[in-house]
Structure 1
Amino acid sequence: MKRVTGIGGIFIKARDPDALRAWYRDHLGLDVSEWGGVAFRWNADNPAAVGTTIWSLFKQDSDYFAPSTAPFMINYRVADLHALLAALREEGCNVVEKVDESEYGKFGWVLDPEGNKIELWQPPEGQ
């Protein structure tokens, strides 16, 4: 019997859900539906590409989520990391200055208005 076959959703508590939804819509381009969420369709733009979602645990004392104090971080796939980070800076968002580039892709970070750290990931070509 198969049990877990993937990640079905990510749910976040917010002090002001309407304002936070608007921030994610306006700054990250999430197409928030009337019911309040977003349904991602993997590889909809390129069915031949490989798509993955990573699930990972970190030690309690990890500083990888810093400066956020939230016990979670969401990683969003992006098409052009550097262009998005530049746009977020111009829009006055709290962008972390560090960018990592490796064989796993390009990684950048921004904090949402409630202090949650968001990882932005541009996958390597073909993924």
Structure 2
Amino acid sequence: MTGEAEPVGRITGIGGVFFTSPDPKALTAWYRDVLGLKVEAWGGVMLRADAPGHPPVVTVNVFETGAGYLAPSKREFMLNFAVDDLGTFVARLKAKGVAVLKEEDGGAYGKFAWIVDPDGTKIELWEPKR
């Protein structure tokens, strides 16, 4: 690092994730009731980037169409949520009838599990390595 200040006019982070659903109210209720996300009065969810245990970065990665990483979803995006204890979170999901597609230890990156929401969007759950 040269000690020079970053130039102005640059991206500083992810400000939100926005997508459509055939039934936004039902999908929002699923995210609230199943994943435990706090839905605000205006209808969306706000996740604090500075929450204790939150990873210090947000990953943006583009895959080639048809690469298969987002399968079985037919959507063109996947959501990744960081969790503090993947085992406990997955057990809670299973108790609510959510099918877990796969779980794996990602070594230096932490632990991962994958599920699909009611609209067919693949969700990656990630417990970062501490």
TM-score by length of 2: 0.87
Aligned partner of 1:92 among 85, 88, 97: 97
Larger Cα-atom Rg: 2
How far has the Cα of 1:50 moved from its partner? 5.5
2:71 matched residue in structure 1: 66
Confirm or deny: 8 A CA contact 1:65 1:73 kept in the other structure: yes
Aligned partner of 2:27 among 20, 23, 27: 20
Q: Is 1:11 aligned to residue 21 of structure 2?
A: no
Partners of 2:88 and 2:77 lie apart in 1 by 25
Confirm or deny: 8 A CA contact 1:75 1:121 kept in the other structure: yes
How many aligned residue pairs are there?
Answer: 123
What runs of 5+ residues in structure 1 fail to find an aligned partner?
Answer: none
Task: Write out the 4+ residue segments of structure 1 that deviate beyond 3 Å after TM superposition.
Answer: none
Confirm or deny: 8 A CA contact 1:99 1:107 kept in the other structure: yes
2:47 matched residue in structure 1: 40
Confirm or deny: 8 A CA contact 2:75 2:121 kept in the other structure: yes
Q: Is 1:108 aligned to residue 113 of structure 2?
A: yes
Identity of aligned residues (%): 46
Partners of 1:56 and 1:17 lie apart in 2 by 26
Superposed CA RMSD in Å reads 1.5
Amino acid aligned to 2:33: D
Q: Match of 2:19, SS?
A: coil
What runs of 5+ residues in structure 2 fail to find an aligned partner?
Answer: 1-7
